[in-house]
Amino acid sequence: MVKRRTLLVGAAVAPLVAISRGAAAQPAAPLDASKLVYLTPIKSDGGESQCMAEIWFAHEGGNVFVVTAPDAWRAEAVRRGLNRARLWVGEFGVWHDADGAFRNAPELMATAALEENAETHARILAVMGGKYVDDGWSSWGPRFKKGLADGSRVMIRYAIDA
């Protein structure tokens, strides 16, 4: 037999559980809806790098993955131990032409690391392929795959802060 008190407590707690689940999932919604992230490494003094970029990405399990040239500042920053990064989620065109509009987009902080696992590369490229099928993936997909294999591209995993 369910007591009235149990029903009242359950009714009072249920909305809070739904709200807390929504808050935990909140970063995923903009990431799943957007085709671009804007990112900048964080310098050792805590300031943002002047090297920003808008970039294709894949979102999976609390991580954002990007593929880039190994000499791009975002990759070089990771190799130098500057593994903190700020990401903004949205689509505002080329970052330097966006007049800072991306700064009003959802903002995430993350810890970056080079992702070297070939199975992860394949899985993330498949995610990107589905996401960018209408955006030139038929040309870029093979370049990314070949580049990750021969070292002319690297994959960076940005683990989104909780």
pLDDT at 16 over 50: no
- Identify the burial level of 31 via C-beta atoms within 10 angstroms of its C-beta, where 0-12 means exposed, 13-18 middle and 19 or more buried: buried
- Assign residue 44 the CATH number of its domain: 2.30.110.10
pTM above 0.85, yes or no: no
In a domain, 144, yes or no: yes
Q: What is the pLDDT of residues 134-148, one digit of tens each?
A: 999 999 999 999 999
In a domain, 4, yes or no: no
In a domain, 12, yes or no: no
Q: What is the pLDDT of residues 45-79, one digit of tens each?
A: 887 887 777 889 999 999 999 999 999 999 999 99
In a domain, 69, yes or no: yes
Mean pLDDT of 95-99: 69
Q: How far is CA 105 from CA 81, 92, 95, in A?
A: 27, 9, 13
In a domain, 3, yes or no: no
pLDDT at 9 over 80: no
- As for how many domains the chain has, the answer is 1
In a domain, 53, yes or no: yes
Q: What is the pLDDT of residues 115-132, one digit of tens each?
A: 999 999 999 999 999 999
- Contact at 8 Å (CB) between 55 and 68? yes
> Which pLDDT value is given to residue 18?
35
> Which pLDDT value is given to residue 31?
85
In a domain, 8, yes or no: no
Domain containing residue 34 = 28-160
Structure tokens that stand for 14 in this block? 């249920």
In a domain, 139, yes or no: yes
